[in-house]
Chains A and B, each alone.
Chain A
């Protein structure tokens, strides 16, 4: 491999930046350029909400100090790419300049879905994905917004609701399903989150969909009409019905696209030396039994970047993710998941164990196959250890073994209530099993840490 080859990465999100960082660690010589029109410096997309809420400044959500890039010889180019000339191997920028590459990585992320609702392009109607979206939202909600309507029951929706509540803007939340995030969460968990939203005075409307977004004469949103015919007056509409690969600018070239940029498990597109990772890549086959062909979470973006760096450094490596994991925070309630817990399952194949604290904010679910082996867990309102479940899932532990060692999985700070003891008791009641229930530690007894 030529020592002065130039790797150009379009997009400086978590996938592109992780790829660049790891490539630099593996290859000291290669020239690396990150191209982004969104922001010169990498920032944590998942933290945009905190900037809006004044919990952090934009500089705080930039994980690396500004000198980091020069020190690691990662060149930054603040440009929007207009088109890519694959034959002459160069990028053409909207500003008119161009940049020649030897190897190209497309990691341009997603854009919010818009499903063709009438009025979806009115002023005051937007999704939340990019830095520009945040700036727009700050501008439009600065004054004169007393009610907002959010449509789409997912993670960005609930984040947006929390943001708007900070500005004391009342939020009506339209969710198509019969419970919040019901496509992903089982019924009990979904209801738990729904209750918590009501507790925060969010006007949650289940089985409710946007029919039309109505504007005033100046082209600004003034109301939303739902499919049931109700008109809700509002001055802001959040569209949070998921995201899709941000590939419009790539259309009409020899690069093979479907919903995303088509890649194999080595992230290679149909064009030699052109790769794609992160939200915008679409695999030709699912990378794991319970994985999707388009992976749109932070952690998968990071893993794509880690893996591709090895290929780019001359060690061809196929993407092979370990057990799935994810996390989120619904207002005040933290959520983690390890392995595979779908919204519903075939009870002839899967056994489910569910425990919920009487307060209704802490919960644990474990799915097991019919031979009693762990399939996946959800936990709400307390913390569990990633390393523990990665091992349990990789080594195919039985559900009983997981529960019997649950004290080791606990990741709550000292003095917190030992929920694992209650979970062990409940499991024994429902499923039996020969294991000893953990005893509270001396410290827990001393400080009265009770469930």
Chain B
């Protein structure tokens, strides 16, 4: 490792360390005014009274503050629940808003400084580490040492990385009140872009985008000399930065609904939720355009693009989940399970999620148009179940947190309902395939090992068969790592797309009656 890379690594670790410490800084003090400012009108009176014992107190940590808050808040609710006074129970979660408002910390006072010291240093460190990579080596992809690496082969470093990611996701989704320092830190940046203070989702979006950019630059270095990988990586970096991060915030600045133009139902599972539809319908022409655009992508965009290019047009060129997997996740791609058994589970689980989301969405739409006489608020229960189990746990905690354990495409492979939909089109009606170059395969296994989707590419290549699989996201790494020039991503005629040669090209001994 070069000196500058070591320096980069130190900066990165320092930034990461600061990021981890920040949530524990500062103190919290709540008063009546803050409660009134951050509470829905119907709850104001109650909360002002329930939380009165907290006034004038200074809590020195988020644990202390939130612990006390929950004691009073849940105490109030529990009493009502015990008396079955369900209508008076406060179901809203005010912990995040109160914690953010009560916070007094150096981070809140000097947000830009702390932003620089945490995320900023991590980004600079990451760049210093990645940019000089392979600089004095000839062009060529090196996967040397992957399985001798603790980080990349489920060693102790990998376990720590995975645990950190899992913990971060759990706190982000279910205990965001503990992260208010970090949210306050990025708030001025949010104000700059959208004119609104940050939520935990702005914090998440910012980190997510920066991870894709910094690790995308690592991709440029690692796959230098491979034009397909370069352009594809630039594409995911662009779509994440512009479409997923900046444009939705700018829409908010312009008083339009927050909307990611490249997110497609059923990955975007709340697209047809009643509050979304209401938002579209109440936002005039722009809202109507969003609604029609979203529906067109589902019914026209997906089948058309997938027919011509395979599902890669979305999964490894446009999608945000794919973007993170292809950049931050690239060092872990070899950890995906290639067994036939894993493939079997994969098909049950991913199509199960697709069925679930279709049923949920259909019920939601029917319910919406029947004026909620069809199922009442049962659809809300469905939504919260799906949001918890699939949207947060599967896609987030498992999807990213399990990178160092099960590879970088756990969600895309086992869970994503949009990938399932794209996959069905790709398998049955598409011009895309990975062509095998006649009899040139030497069964070395590089393609299968480095396939993030767990496809046993070699099983096809060594038989001279083209690879046509619903799960293939067309990342092109199998073709890139093949040492004998055997694999090529291609769009071509549907005729002979799926082929079977009992005898490989090059052996004229056996004449087959074809």
Contact = CB atoms under 8 A, between A and B. Distances in A.
Nearest to A382: B485
A413 interface: yes
Given A44-B443, A299-B439, A385-B438, A306 B504 contact: yes
Interface residues of B, number: 48
Interface in B483-514: 483-485, 488-489, 502-510
Interface string A306-338: 110010000001111111010111011010100
Main SS class of interface, B? loop
Contacts of A257: none
Nearest to A47: B444
A383 interface: yes
Closest 9 pairs (CB-CB, A-B): A386-B438, A332-B140, A383-B485, A47-B444, A54-B148, A415-B227, A329-B483, A303-B507, A307-B509
Interface string A390-421: 10000000000000000000011111110000
Contact of B445 (A63, A320, A383, A417): A63
B506 A55 contact: no
Given A47-B443, A307-B510, A336-B485, 4 more contacts: A317-B510, A327-B440, A416-B227, A417-B227
30 contacts: A46-B442, A47-B442, A47-B444, A50-B444, A50-B445, A53-B145, A54-B145, A55-B145, A60-B445, A63-B462, A200-B138, A299-B440, A306-B504, A306-B510, A319-B509, A322-B505, A325-B438, A325-B440, A325-B506, A331-B140, A383-B485, A386-B437, A387-B437, A387-B438, A387-B505, A390-B506, A411-B437, A414-B489, A415-B228, A447-B231
Given A63-B462, A306-B503, A334-B483, A166 B144 contact: yes
A139 interface: no
A32 interface: no
B509 A320 contact: yes
A303 B502 CA distance: 12
Contact of B506 (A44, A299, A319): A299
B485 A55 contact: no
Interface of B: 138-140, 143-149, 226-228, 231, 339-340, 435, 437-440, 442-446, 448-449, 458-459, 462, 476, 479-480, 483-485, 488-489, 502-510
A289 B476 CA distance: 39
A65 B144 contact: no
A136 B502 CA distance: 38
A302 interface: yes
A377 interface: no
B459 A329 contact: no
A334 B339 contact: no
A334 B143 CA distance: 16
A387 B489 CA distance: 16
A60 to B, nearest CB: 5
Contacts of B483: 329, 334
A234 interface: no
Contact of B509 (A303, A334, A449): A303
B339 A332 contact: no
B445 A306 contact: no
Contacts of A323: 506
A14 B443 contact: yes
A256 interface: no
A332 B138 contact: yes
